[in-house]
Chain A
C-alpha cells in the first residue's frame, strides 16, 4: 500500500456502515468481508443483512435492493446500529430505499456510473438526486465505480459482465482505506473462494486494491478513520450467525446425549439455512430429511423421537400453522421433540425475509385442546448455541416438545462469539427403561420429580406398548374416555411443564433491584434494550432490565421482581403478546407495551426515548 499520509486520521469509537445495491451486486458478500476484517482487527461488531424475498427482482428496481448493515466498535456493542454513518450505494434504487436509514451529515458513497435515465426511472426518482438538493444534508462522494473498475481491469481480458461483477470489491477496497483496514483477510478469502478460476482471483484482488488506492490517492475522502480494538473478554472467538449457532448447538446437544440428531424440515425462509448447515455435518451422526411438506417434516422428527433419537424440526410461522396438529400428538404422546420457529413477518406469507416476534401466542396457544408446551427464545446469534442445548436437555428430561422461538433478525445476524470450553458443556443424561422381571411396564408411569414418562423405545424386549393421540389412561396409557382420568391427565401435563420452572435459571436484573421502571425484554430485543438501559445508566438514570429467555414456564422469581417496580415496559416486535401474558399472569403489575411491526428490529434510540418519557 502507498505510504502517503496526506489525509487526516480521526479516531472514532463506533461506526455503522450500510452497503446497498441490487440483489445481484454482491452486497451480502461485501458486508461479510467487511465484517470478517472487523473481527480480525479486534473490533466488536453486530450485523443486519436485509434482503428481498425475491431472488433476483428486476434489476435496478426498488424491490430488488439488498442491504447489509454492520456496526463495529472499540467497545462492547449489542446491536447492528440504529442508523448508518456511511452508506455505500451501487444504484439509484439502493439510494432511494436506504436514504432514510442514513444519519443527517453522514457520508454517502454513490456509484455514479449507473445514475442514468433508465435506472433513475426504475428507482422512481423524478430527477437525478445527485444533481439537485435531495442530498444536501449529507456529504456525498460520487464515484464512477463501473468505469474505475473497468479501467483497473483493462489488461485482464475478462468478459464485460465479469468486470462489472468486480465493482463491489472496488467499493470494498475504498471502505477498507476509509477505516484503515487490512486487506489480507479478504485477499486470502478471494484466493480460496475462486481457487479454480485464477483470472477471477486476480480480477477481484486487483479491483479491491485499486479501490483502496483510489481512496487513498484521489484525495476525494477528507478523513480516514480508525477504530481501535475493543476490549473483549480474552479467549478464542469466531464470527457466528444465529442459524449457524443453532445448528452447531443441536449437534452438540445430541453429541452430549450420545444420540443421533435427526432433523426433518421443509425449506422456508428464514429457517432453511439450518437444514443446509446440518446436511453438511453428517459425520457428526446427523441425519437430515428434506420432507415433502411441513407436516411430514415434523412427523418424521416425531418418528425419530419415538425411536429414541433426538427429533428436531425447524420452520417459520406459516410452517408452525401446518405443524400444530403434530405438535399436539407429541404433547399427547409425551415425546421429546424440538420445534424451531424462526419468526418472520406475518400474517399469511407476510414478509418472509423480515423479522418479527409475532408468533409467541401462536406457539403457546394455536393448538386444539389444553396443550401446554415449553417455549425458549434465544437473545443473540451466539445464544442460539446455548439455548439449543437447553431445549434438548428440557425436552429429554421432561419428555415434552419444546419450542425454540428464534427470529429472522437473529438467524442471519452475525456477531463475535467467544467460544466455550468444550469440557464445561453440560452433560445430557438419557435413560431408556429395560424390562424387569416380575414388573409390569407402564408407559405413562411418571418420574415423581419431573412427571416425565419413561422413554421406552421400539426394539426393547418386553416393553412392547402402544401410544397414540387418543386420550390416555393414567399409568397404563391405554385409551380412556373416563371424565376423571381426562381431567387428571390434563392437570398432569400442565403440571409437568410448570415444574420446568424449578430447573431453569432465575431471571436477573440489569440495574437497580426496584424502582420506577423495569423494561422486560425477550428474544432478539435483548441487545437494543440492554444498550438503551446501559446508555441511560451512563446518564445516571434509574431504570432496570429483565430479559426472558424462558417464555413458558416463566422463571420462578419473575412475579417477585415485577412487584418491585411501579411500571413494566414491554417492548416487542408485535402488538403486545408478552404484554398480554404478563397482564394475565401478574394482574397486579402495571404493564405497558411498546410495539412495532415494521419488519425491522428496535433501534436503541427509540427504546431509550420511550424509557425517558416514562422516567
Chain B
C-alpha cells in the first residue's frame, strides 16, 4: 500500500508498490496473452515514481488491449474504437497536471483511428501513447489487421492478405512525433525503461509494443524475438553508441550509400560504424531505422527519436495567458454588451 513519508523538507514523498496500481477488476485476457506482461510492467513502472496515482489517467479505444484501463487502479476511460487520442487531447488541453496514457492497438490506432493518431502526434500533444501491436484483430476473433504480414491467412483472408502492411513507427515519424520507441512484451525490463523514458518525455511519446496474441497469431514475432533467434535478429538501440547486435555483440551497422550494411566489428574500423543518435532533429535517420526489417536486417528496439519541441497544450495555455495579460481577465458585461450598443428610452 502507498505510504506518504514526511521528509525534513516537509514535502510529502509518496511511495507506491505495484499493488497500488492493481484495480479490483478481474483481468479477462486469454491465458498466456502478452497483455498481462504489459499491464504488470506498467503497474510496476508507475510504482517507481512519486506521481500521485490520481494524476494518472488511462484512456483506451476498443480492442483486447483497450480493456487495459479497467485493470489499473487510476482514473480510466474505455472509450470507442480508434478515438482515444481525441478524448486524451481534450483532457490534456484543460488539465496540464495529469499524466495521460493512451492505450491502443494496431487495429484501433492504425486502422479505424489512424487519422487521430497522426494528428495528435503532429500537434505534439503531451500524451504517452502505447500501441500494442499483435498484427491481428483479436477481439473480433482473428481477422487480418493493417500490420499483418502480406499473405497472412486469416478468417477474412483465406487466400492470404493482399493488404500491404503499415509500419507504425513510419507513421509516427511522418507525423513528426517527438518521442518514438519500440519494445516488446517478453522483455519487461526493457519495456519498463522505455515506459519511464516515454513518461518523462515532454510532448507526444509513441511506443510500439510487439505483443503476442496466443490465440489468433501465436509466435508471429517469433522469428525475430524468439529465444533462439533474438540475439541475431534484434538490435537494442543505445544513444551515442554503435548499432551492435549478435550473440557475441560482434555485429554492427555501417552505411553503404543510403542503405544499412551488416559488418563484423572486428573487421572494420570503429569510425565506420553507424552511431545511434536519438536526438537528431531531422527525421531521416529515425526513418532509416524503421526500414530495418526482418529477414534482411536486425529489427531495432529502443528509442528511435527523442527531441524537444513545444507542446500543443503548452502553447494553448500560453495563448490563453497571453490574451489575459493583453486584454485582462474577460469581464461578462464587456462580453455581452460588445462594442456597439444603443439606448432605447
A233 to B343, CA, bound (A): 10
Q: Contact check, B86 vs A296: say whether CB atoms are below 8 A apart.
A: yes
A459 to B98, CA, bound (A): 7
Complex interface residues of chain B between 37 and 70 (CB less than 8 A to chain A): 52-55, 57, 59, 62, 69-70
By a CB distance below 8 angstroms, the chain B residues around A328 are 80
Q: Which of chain B's residues has its CB closest to A418's CB?
A: B344
Q: Contact check, A296 vs B83: say whether CB atoms are below 8 A apart.
A: yes
A255 to B119, CA, bound (A): 30
A478-491 interface code vs B (CB 8 A; 1 in, 0 out): 11000000000000
B215 contacts partner chain A, Cβ-Cβ < 8 Å: no
10 contacts between A and B (CB under 8 A): A237-B342, A238-B342, A248-B335, A252-B335, A295-B83, A299-B83, A306-B87, A466-B23, A466-B75, A468-B79
Q: Contact check, B74 vs A464: say whether CB atoms are below 8 A apart.
A: yes
By a CB distance below 8 angstroms, the chain A residues around B93 are 262, 287, 289, 300, 303-304
A333 to B344, CA, bound (A): 48
Q: Contact check, B87 vs A469: say whether CB atoms are below 8 A apart.
A: no
Partner of A299, one of B54, B86, B338: B86
Q: Contact check, B329 vs A40: say whether CB atoms are below 8 A apart.
A: no
Q: Contact check, B90 vs A282: say whether CB atoms are below 8 A apart.
A: no
Interface centre among B69, B90, B323 (most CB of A within 10 A): B90
A235 contacts partner chain B, Cβ-Cβ < 8 Å: yes
A333/B335 contact (C-beta < 8 A), A264-B90, A293-B115, A459-B55 known: no
Chain B, interface size category, equals 35 or more
A328-358 interface code vs B (CB 8 A; 1 in, 0 out): 1100010000000000000000000000000
Partner of B87, one of A236, A299, A325: A299
A212 to B89, CA, bound (A): 55
Partner of A234, one of B53, B72, B345: B345
By a CB distance below 8 angstroms, the chain B residues around A239 are 340
B174 contacts partner chain A, Cβ-Cβ < 8 Å: no
Q: Contact check, A40 vs B342: say whether CB atoms are below 8 A apart.
A: yes
User: Given known contacts A299-B79, A307-B91, what 13 new A-B pairs fall within 8 Å (CB)?
Assistant: A42-B342, A255-B330, A285-B330, A287-B93, A289-B89, A292-B115, A296-B86, A299-B83, A419-B341, A459-B97, A463-B54, A464-B75, A468-B78
A420 to B336, CA, bound (A): 8
A400 contacts partner chain B, Cβ-Cβ < 8 Å: no
B76 contacts partner chain A, Cβ-Cβ < 8 Å: yes
A266 to B324, CA, bound (A): 25
Q: Contact check, B54 vs A462: say whether CB atoms are below 8 A apart.
A: yes
B89-122 interface code vs A (CB 8 A; 1 in, 0 out): 1111111011000000000000000011011000
A301 to B90, CA, bound (A): 6
Q: Contact check, B94 vs A307: say whether CB atoms are below 8 A apart.
A: yes
Q: How far is the CB of B154 from chain A (nearest CB, A)?
A: 25
A297 to B116, CA, bound (A): 10
A582 contacts partner chain B, Cβ-Cβ < 8 Å: no
B259 contacts partner chain A, Cβ-Cβ < 8 Å: no
Q: Contact check, A466 vs B94: say whether CB atoms are below 8 A apart.
A: no
Q: Contact check, B79 vs A459: say whether CB atoms are below 8 A apart.
A: no
By a CB distance below 8 angstroms, the chain B residues around A304 are 90-91, 93-94
Partner of B95, one of A40, A296, A459: A459
A308 to B332, CA, bound (A): 22
Q: How far is the CB of B161 from chain A (nearest CB, A)?
A: 27
A460-502 interface code vs B (CB 8 A; 1 in, 0 out): 1111111111100000001100000000000000000000000
A326 contacts partner chain B, Cβ-Cβ < 8 Å: yes
A485 to B88, CA, bound (A): 29
By a CB distance below 8 angstroms, the chain B residues around A234 are 344-345
B246-258 interface code vs A (CB 8 A; 1 in, 0 out): 0000000000000
Q: How far is the CB of B301 from chain A (nearest CB, A)?
A: 30
Q: Contact check, B75 vs A458: say whether CB atoms are below 8 A apart.
A: yes
Interface centre among A251, A306, A462, A465 (most CB of B within 10 A): A306
Q: Which of chain B's residues has its CB closest to A255's CB?
A: B332
Q: Contact check, A39 vs B342: say whether CB atoms are below 8 A apart.
A: yes
Q: Contact check, B70 vs A42: say whether CB atoms are below 8 A apart.
A: no
A614 contacts partner chain B, Cβ-Cβ < 8 Å: no
A466/B70 contact (C-beta < 8 A), A239-B340, A292-B116, A326-B80 known: yes
Q: Contact check, A307 vs B342: say whether CB atoms are below 8 A apart.
A: no
Q: Contact check, A235 vs B344: say whether CB atoms are below 8 A apart.
A: yes
Chain A, interface size category, equals 35 or more
Q: Contact check, A233 vs B55: say whether CB atoms are below 8 A apart.
A: no
Q: How far is the CB of A475 from chain B (nearest CB, A)?
A: 14
Q: Contact check, A285 vs B70: say whether CB atoms are below 8 A apart.
A: no
A422 to B343, CA, bound (A): 16
Complex interface residues of chain A between 268 and 300 (CB less than 8 A to chain B): 281-287, 289, 291-293, 295-300
Q: Contact check, B91 vs A306: say whether CB atoms are below 8 A apart.
A: yes
A469 to B70, CA, bound (A): 12
By a CB distance below 8 angstroms, the chain B residues around A173 are none
Interface centre among A286, A303, A328, A468 (most CB of B within 10 A): A303
B333 contacts partner chain A, Cβ-Cβ < 8 Å: yes
Partner of A309, one of B77, B94, B320: B94
A260 to B316, CA, bound (A): 13
A25 contacts partner chain B, Cβ-Cβ < 8 Å: no
Q: Contact check, A466 vs B78: say whether CB atoms are below 8 A apart.
A: yes
Interface centre among B78, B87, B115 (most CB of A within 10 A): B87
Q: Contact check, B80 vs A284: say whether CB atoms are below 8 A apart.
A: no
Q: Contact check, A466 vs B340: say whether CB atoms are below 8 A apart.
A: no
Q: Contact check, B335 vs A458: say whether CB atoms are below 8 A apart.
A: no
Partner of B90, one of A299, A420, A422: A299
Q: How far is the CB of B39 from chain A (nearest CB, A)?
A: 14
By a CB distance below 8 angstroms, the chain A residues around B319 are 282
A217 contacts partner chain B, Cβ-Cβ < 8 Å: no
By a CB distance below 8 angstroms, the chain B residues around A264 are 90
